[in-house]
Amino acid sequence: MAHTPVLVKEAIEGLSIKSGDTVLDATVNEGGHSSLIAQYLDEKGTIIGIDEDTDALVEARRNLGASRCTIILAHDNFRNLDRVLEKHGIQTVDKALFDIGLSSRQLDESKRGFSFQKDEPLLMTFCPDLETCAFTAREIVNTWTEQSITDVIYGYGGERFAKRIAREIVKERKIKPIERTGNLVAIIERSVPHGYRFGKIHPATKTFQALRIAVNDEFSALTEGIGKALERLNKGGRIAIISFHSGEDRIVKNFFRESAKTGLCVIITKKPIVPSDEEKRRNPRSRSAHLRIAEKL
């Protein structure tokens, strides 16, 4: 399934892009936002796109191939954006965009176990070479203590039945290792009350989200990435961040707030911008998106 970028119009208008800008797309994915940003840029403009997903970068290169502006694509984590910029001789940028969410393709086709709707190996890592991946969700559920698993599921997922789920995970792994997402979903379903199992969201949603965040150290990466992006922004430059998780949105809100207190930036969005009802109908995966924008002083 092709990925549908979220809050595109709102993010691009909020960035206030000029024709000769240097724009950092810290989560370029398949180039959904960047292909539209490129329409605002001329031959003097530049887009630097970063992504950990090599398959996504192949699609981004294809989607951005006809752009008038300079396109630079880099395979890396956005927490290393300073290293990427230095490698390409770029000291500062005029605009920065972060879209902190999985693409439809990563959920539906990656075979890495990101989705609880498919029975796949329990990996949840963006590591490009699965043979050399040092850390996966399989390691967490099969080797961590019950308390540590509880802490991850509750702390990163806000799952109120985290203790029950962790207890059942430990019980099951004593019988046989938990190797696939289907196994984990079955464990979660029998761990939670009947009413919760058939509630508004799937009972595995928060646990899967929490494990993915832990495996990829996403909260720390986001904090580092925002800090480095603000540092590299030119005066008057803007940064826009789209998040899909309350914990991520809290990190962005607090980072912007603290940066505003020290005079580093001014917050453009006093409240987060959320998708319209029409966008939610067209793209249900957009429903939890929050966009916040700040401007460098």
The Cα–Cα gap between 99 and 33 comes to 9
SS (HEC) of 13-39 = HHHCCCCCCEEEECCCCCCHHHHHHHH
CA distance 230 to 294: 9
In the chain, where does DSSP find H-type helix? 8-15, 32-37, 54-63, 81-87, 104-109, 137-143, 146-157, 162-175, 181-191, 194-197, 205-215, 218-232, 246-261, 277-282
Q: Is 32 annotated as a binding residue?
A: yes
Of the candidates 147, 146, 169, 149, which has an alpha carbon nearest to the alpha carbon of residue 157? Answer: 149
Consult the annotation and say whether 88 binds a ligand.
no
31 is in an annotated binding site: yes
Which residues participate in the annotated binding site for S-adenosyl-L-methionine? 31-33, 51, 78, 99, 106
Which residues participate in the annotated binding site? 31-33, 51, 78, 99, 106
